[in-house]
Structure 1
Amino acid sequence: MIKEYDYLFKLVIIGNSGVGKSSLLLRFADDQFSESYLTTIGVDFRFRTLPIDGKNVKLQIWDTAGQERFRTITSAYYKGADGIVMVYDVTQGQSFDDIDKFWLHEVESYGEKNVQLLIIGNKNDLDEQKAVETSKAEEYCKSHNMLFMECSAKTADHVNNAFLELSRKLMAKKDASQPSKSTNTTQGVQQQSQARGQSNTNTSQSNKLSANTSNQKKQKDGGCC
């Protein structure tokens, strides 16, 4: 059976309730937006396959509830995640502060050791209401080695770009963790060469042993005066 993808990555979206996590996922996965606000109960997920640099990248994206009463449920989904997307609302300073106060500690407690992090500042279409300066968020992400993007689920601004950038980062990490085909081929040739060399050495030793045995036999048969 032919696989429909070259890469498969699990992503988890986290952040305070009401920052637009579900809206971002709906925009990215289905290119839709709803003005009505529906709270996620527990977790939800969607798939999307992207063509990136000639490869098909399949993303399994889990949308988690932001309310505290669901934390014991949602934290279990961090396990095995290749990337975690932390979302804040650019018009709500507290939602950004909580990334450092709470969400990052959640990731450190339950996430994989080398999980890739992306912070998204959602609702950047509400520029006049902006409470978190872009430069502040950029500096924070840079100091913590995280990817950063400001987006708008409503207008679709930079939503695709955010997930594309994260996917490319994950592809690079995946490729770096696996030996290249050329390396495997070289190692295979070296092993075959070593095996042939060992075989030739054994044959040579066998021939020398046979010759010595033959000489000893001739000397014995010839006798001595």
Structure 2
Amino acid sequence: EQVRFYDTRGLRDGLELPKHCFSCTDGYVLVYSTDSKESFKRVELLKKEIDKSKDKKEVTIVVLGNKSDLQEQRRVDHDAAQHWAKGEKVKLWEVSVADRHTLIEPFIYLASKMTQPQSKSAFPLSRKNKGS
């Protein structure tokens, strides 16, 4: 197994994610800053773009709200962000790079979801013959 990270930091509004970000992708980590409503809005837009462009039906998306340690500078409401994540069926954690232990759970979750077998296909590979 291999994990690759593509950093889209600096992606300007109106620019699309490169197409290689969608081919064969099993998971995404979207990061916003809890002290920036604009960065959260950008994550919302990226999630919409992923939904309409992804190649696979089952893709795990993890959203990280960075700078959780800077409560006095918070601009993105925790409960509102969690409500959005629940509606979008993504997992959201608030983390701080100052406390790297907060990053462990989200990445373990992502790796575990990406290594699970895909759900059963509607087209079974083998059939049992019933009393011919």
TM over 0.5: yes
Q: Distance in 2 between matches of 1:68 and 1:166?
A: 26
Match of 1:127 among 51, 68, 71: 71
**Match for 2:62: what amino acid?**
L
Shift of 1:153: 1.8
* TM-score after normalising by structure 1: 0.48
Shift of 1:177: 4.2
Aligned residues of 2:22 and 2:55 also touching (Cα < 8 A)? yes
Shift of 1:152: 1.2
Say what the alpha-carbon RMSD is for the aligned residues.
2.9
How many aligned positions are there? 127
Q: Distance in 1 between matches of 2:99 and 2:40?
A: 21
1:176 and 2:112 matched? no
After TM superposition, list the pairs within 5 Å mapping 1:7-18 onto structure 2. Answer: 8=1
Deviations 1:101-141 (A, max 9, x none): x2123213332342221111011121221111221111111
Aligned residues of 1:119 and 1:146 also touching (Cα < 8 A)? yes
Q: Which structure's CA Rg is the greater one?
A: 1
Q: 1:90 to 1:177 in 2, by over 3 A?
A: same
1:152 and 2:96 matched? yes
1:110 and 2:110 matched? no
Q: Distance in 2 between matches of 1:139 and 1:73?
A: 25
Kindly indicate which of the two structures has a greater share of residues assigned to strand. Answer: 1
Q: 1:104 to 1:73 in 2, by over 3 A?
A: closer
Structure 2 unaligned regions, length at least 5: none
Q: Distance in 1 between matches of 2:5 and 2:107?
A: 10
1:163 and 2:78 matched? no
* TM-score after normalising by structure 2: 0.76
Q: 1:154 to 1:78 in 2, by over 3 A?
A: farther
Q: 1:163 to 1:153 in 2, by over 3 A?
A: same
Deviations 1:145-189 (A, max 9, x none): 1111111123214212111111222233x25348xxxxx9xx79x
Shift of 1:66: 2.9
2:25 maps to what in 1? Answer: 81
Structure 1 unaligned regions, length at least 5: 1-7, 9-57, 179-183, 199-225
Work out which structure has the larger RCO, using CA pairs closer than 8 Å and 6 or more positions apart in sequence: 2
